[in-house]
Amino acid sequence: MPLDKLVLILVCVIVAAGVTVWLGVLVLAAWDVPFAGLALIPAALIAYIVARVIGERLGNAQEDHYDRMDH
């Protein structure tokens, strides 16, 4: 994957996570939820992103081609 595409994806994910956290804070503040509930939103987003990245890297057949190459 080209570096510019990876950076674009990371920027989009970070912006989306920020907007999600911001909206989550607004909703939880309206419902008067304690602060501990807020920590679950970014933790869930990070866990989802990490799981998707690992799944993509392990399931990508194109990456296996480079593992078999001699140096």
How does the average pLDDT of the chain come out, rounded?
Answer: 79
| Domains held by the chain: number | 1
Q: Which carries the bigger pLDDT value, residue 17 or residue 69? A: 17
Owning domain of residue 15: 3-67
41, 24 in Cβ contact below 8 A?
yes
pLDDT for res 71: 59
Mean pLDDT value of segment 50-70? 73
pTM greater than 0.85 (yes/no):
no
pLDDT for res 38: 67
Residue type, position 41, single letter: I
